[in-house]
Amino acid sequence: MIKVQGLTKRYARTVAVDNISFEVEKGQIVGFLGPNGAGKTTTMRVLTCFLPPTSGTATVAGFDVLENPHEVKKRIGYLPETPPLYPEMEVSEYLTFVGRLKGISSADIDRRVREVTERCAIGDVRMKLIGKLSKGYRQRVGLAQAIIHNPDVLILDEPTSGLDPKQIIETRELIKHLSGDHTIILSTHILPEVEHSCQRVVIINQGKLVATDSVENLTNRLRGAEAVALEVASSNGPLDPAAVQQRLEQVAGVSRVLPREVKDGRLAFEVESLQGRQIRADLARAVVHAGWNLNELRSVGLSLEDIFLQLTGTQNPASATQHPASSTQHS
Amino acid sequence: MTNIWIICRKELKSYFASPIAYLLMAFFALIFGFGFFTATRDFVRFGFMAQMQGRNMPMNVNEQVIRPLLGFASTVALFLIPMITMRLFAEEKKTGTIELLMTSPVYDWEIILGKWLGALLLYLCVLGMSALNIALLFAFGKPDWKPILIGYLGLILQGGTLLAIGAFISTTTKNQIIAGGVTFFVCLLLWLLSWFTSYDTSGYGSVVNYLSIVTHFEGFAKGVLDSKDVVFYLSMIFFSLFITSRSMESLRWRA
């Protein structure tokens, strides 16, 4: 559905997007992941024909963004980072305007407006001025605007930024509901968003493509090792941290033990396992055998967040695609 | 064609949803009404005096009331037009709604024409406030309607030109104040050009004089429809809208 090849966008002084290539299949939800200023918005703007690429090609539904922008625009619904709203308009008036602009005939427009207001749950504010709406409602009106002409492709730039947690969940649900009929690209720098709603991830950093894979593959690939938070105390006298650490390191399957904190005689550690080993049971046994109290034992598993940091970490971007499980750094 | 109309209607709605349209209309009605009052008062006094002195002076409403009034209106319009055009593109650039327009399946020239037409219709509404005064003249006198019509055509053409120039300036900035200020300055300059060169008959002077917006309006105010003036205004409108579209195109490359 979307094909990007060797896309580069250069501004006067900076290269915003540097030789990016990826493809999106019909019906997929793809998450565009990257820190602020990574080039997510620029890539989206190229796809929506707002900006022309400096070099490389991008096609949507077989139409090139440079040669056939009109056809591309007809097939794309776009929600920019700040929803493009006119505060002096009423919601239904605004949606009618956008719908007509996107080529919906005057005969169908009322029906379409009704459908999208229902779908985006903004029916109760239909007659309100957009300028008076709360941020969450505005975001939903923005979303309604993007889907009004039932486009093949939906491009959403940070659809949940600035919303409160409840609104974020609602927006996510809404995007999930939409996924059946539309191919969706959504950008974000918030990771749970990708984990929740996307099937594939495209990670970019400083304009370069870092990784593109399915969410499961990406997490599985990087989540071979287990990390466990452990807290030990003693009922008779203070413990020697070095001795405890040594004892823990002897447990089978442990790759390393990191001392975390010492407080009132309680010792906290973070223990990492070797690739594919379960160590929690053995750890618990070892602590109890030594006669210490086991205060806490909890798996801290690598989240997409860690993966993201590893992949986009500025220290060693070259090794980003290697298996970094053994060199995991927790902050 | 429908796209132009959709955008034009949206522009008009925006003008009338904010106080700006009403303010401009009220402001113009007040100023024009004041001009009308003094012009007719002087006209009546003058006629009265001529009668008292037993001299048979030729009195003509068209020449002595309407013509100076139309000139007055064209000057007042210079001040109003920046207030109409300053928001056209600058506001959309600031709020980001320009992204919506530019990623919709409409052509740039449709957006520009729609916006310009919307501004022109508001300008017509503002001018329309003077119709009441003119109607009074018809109620109490017998002015010739043809020169009035030509005069209004001139006002519309002059307004259209300045609106197109203002639209262009509005595409160059995100700041409405700057757009309005620069447009006002340019309007003023185009007006003043005729002052600088009114006695200069050299080739250089006549070129500058030709460029003055006001010079071309004089014929219309007299009730003379000269194709040369019409062509001047139409080509100025075309040229300004053309550079507006170039400016919008450059937004894509720079933005």
Instruction: Tell me if A87 is assigned to some domain.
Output: yes
Cβ pair B43, B64 in contact under 8 A: yes
Find the CB nearest A102 among B18, B102, B105: B105
Q: Do A50 and B96 touch (CB under 8 A)?
A: no
Query: Any CB–CB contact under 8 A between A62 and chain B?
Result: no
Q: CB A51 to CB B252 under 8 A?
A: yes
Tell me: pLDDT of B65 over 90.
no
Contact B170, B90 (CB under 8 A): yes
Are residues A255 and A203 part of one domain? Answer: no
Q: Does any CB of chain B come closer than 8 Å to the CB of residue A50?
A: yes
Question: Dihedrals φ, ψ of B121, to 5°?
Answer: -65, -40
Q: What is the CATH number of the domain that holds A276?
A: 3.30.70.1340
Instruction: State the nearest Cα–Cα gap between B76 and chain A, in angstroms.
Output: 28
pLDDT at position A327: 38
Helix, strand or coil, per DSSP, at residue A184: strand
Cross-strand pairs, A212: A202
User: Is residue A254 domain-shared with residue A205, that is, in the same domain?
Assistant: no
Determine the 3-state secondary structure of A225 from DSSP: coil
Does some domain include residue A325? no
- Say if residue A73 is in the same domain as residue A206: yes
**Strand A183-188 with A2-10, pairing:** unpaired
Does some domain include residue A157? yes
B241: closest CA of chain A, how far (Å): 21
CB contact under 8 A, A82 and B95: yes
Tens digits of pLDDT across chain A (331 residues): 899 999 999 888 888 888 899 988 888 889 888 877 888 889 999 999 999 999 999 999 889 999 999 999 999 999 998 899 999 999 999 999 999 999 999 999 999 999 999 888 888 999 999 999 988 889 889 999 999 999 999 999 988 877 788 878 888 888 888 877 789 998 887 777 777 778 888 888 888 888 788 877 776 665 556 778 888 888 777 778 888 888 888 888 887 788 877 777 788 888 877 766 778 888 888 888 888 888 888 877 555 666 666 666 644 434 334 343 333 344 3
Give the predicted TM-score (pTM) of the model. Answer: 0.82
- Same domain as A284, residue A155: no
Tell whether A60 is covered by a domain.
Answer: yes
Contact B194, B217 (CB under 8 A): no
Is position A323 within any domain? Answer: no
**Domain range enclosing A250:** 227-299
Same domain, A262 and A114: no
Three-state DSSP class for A7? strand
Q: Which of A250, A211, A204, A240 lies closest to A15 in space, CA to CA?
A: A204
Residue A103 and residue A16 in one domain: yes
Q: Does some domain include residue A327?
A: no
Tell whether the torsion through CA atoms of A189, A164, A46 and A5 is positive or negative: positive
A157 three-class SS: strand
Which residues, including other chains, have CB under 8 Å from residue A233's CB and lie 6 or more apart? A239, A265, A266, A267, A292, A293, A295
Do A182 and A256 belong to one domain?
A: no
Distances (CA, A) of A201 to A32, A129, A157, A215: 6, 37, 14, 6
Give the A window 199-218 contacts with B, CB below 8 Å. Answer: none
CA distance linking residue B15 with residue B87, whole number of Å: 10
Predicted confidence (pLDDT) per residue in A35-78, tens digit: 778 888 899 999 999 999 999 999 998 899 999 999 999 999 99
* A-proximal residues of B, 100-129, CB under 8 Å: 100-107
CATH code of A70's domain: 3.40.50.300
Whether B201 contacts B95, CB under 8 Å: no
Domain boundary residue among A220, A235, A270?
A: A220
Pairing outcome for strands A183-188 and A153-157:
parallel
The total number of structural domains in chain B stands at 1
Cβ atoms of A273 and A298 within 8 Å: the answer is no
**CA A261 – CA B47 distance, rounded (Å):** 103
Distance of alpha carbon B68 from alpha carbon B38, whole angstroms: 11
Rg of the Cα atoms in chain B: 20
**Domain identity same for A98 and A240:** no
The minimal CB distance from B103 to the residues A52, A73, A87 is found for A73
| Per-residue pLDDT, A271 | 83
Q: Shortest CB distance from B17 goes to which of A45, A73, A88?
A: A88
Indicate whether A256 and A136 sit together in one domain. Answer: no
Asked if A134 and A251 sit in the same domain, the reply is no
Tell whether A91 and A234 lie within a shared domain.
Answer: no
Name chain B contacts of A45, Cβ cutoff 8 Å: 99, 255
Residues in B touching A12 (Cβ below 8 Å): 254
This complex has an ipTM of: 0.88
B123: distance to nearest CA of chain A, Å? 20
Nearest to B103 among A48, A85, A93 (CB): A48
B13 contacts A84? CB cut-off 8 A: no
What value, to the nearest 5°, has the Cα angle with vertex B120 and ends B114 and B123? 150
- pLDDT digit string (tens) for B107-154? 999 999 999 999 999 999 999 999 889 898 888 888 888 889 999 999
Mutate to test the interface with A, among B8, B104, B248, B254 (most CBs of A within 10 A): B104
Residue A320 lies in a domain: no
Domains contained in chain A, number: 2
Partners of residue B251 in chain A, C-beta under 8 Å: none
List the structure tokens of B210.
């030709």
Q: Do B100 and A84 touch (CB under 8 A)?
A: yes
Sign for the CA dihedral angle at A109, A110, A115, A116 comes to positive
Confirm whether A324 is domain-assigned. no
C-alpha span between B234 and B253 (Å, rounded): 29
Closest by Cβ to B96, choosing from A84, A87, A100 = A84
Query: Measured between beta carbons, which residues in chain A are less than 8 angstroms from residue B107?
Result: 70
Q: What is the 3-state secondary structure (H, E, C) of A45-101?
A: HHHCCCCCCCEEEEEECCEECCCCHHHHHHCEEEECCCCCCCCCCEHHHHHHHHHHH
**CA nearest neighbour of B96 among B243, B241, B251:** B251
Q: Number of A:B CB contacts under 8 A?
A: 71
Position A6, amino acid: G
Domain interval for residue B188: 2-254
